[in-house]
Structure 1
């Protein structure tokens, strides 16, 4: 598998786990996230997207791998420029929002500061 994206988690918003549990989604944002969103986000610092993310690619987070089932129209641009997308663990094969990356419906493990989020081409 070829790595096409990697970032390190630098901070966890106080309410990110609550948001994941209630909404089934995780919001990624670089450290410059607006203050009103930070508490709901997984924050990261660097942003290395070497190739466009596509359906069928694999996202690794929290020591677990998830198959990508749908990619919103602005996911690649937003991730590359802003470091901001929404991860939805619902298995949908059509993106509900332009900035959503849908992944297979699986339990999402907790993550820790310092861990990596990585996307691979199969």
Structure 2
């Protein structure tokens, strides 16, 4: 399932054809695959893209920073202790670390943006 969800960005159990049909049916009854909501996207002229992602009643930022020979993806915590001046998450102060699903959601925002 992890490969389907994170490698193929699949959010439909029926498309996971290497999983037993009975298990897929049961999964549809008890589970859902839902990408976190991107509530804001900002694009800079230098190619930097910043997403604000809803995490409960708070927002988390994920920032894609392209460089000449590589790119950096900054997936923040809920709040941040680094105090980067350009990052609004840093202005919140540090509240908590992200859950694994929230980190993966930040990567997913980047992948979904690439698909456009």
- TM-score for both structures, normalised by structure 1: 0.25
Answer 1 or 2: which has greater strand percent: 1
Greater C-alpha Rg: 2
Q: Which has the higher contact order (CA 8 A, sep 6+)?
A: 1
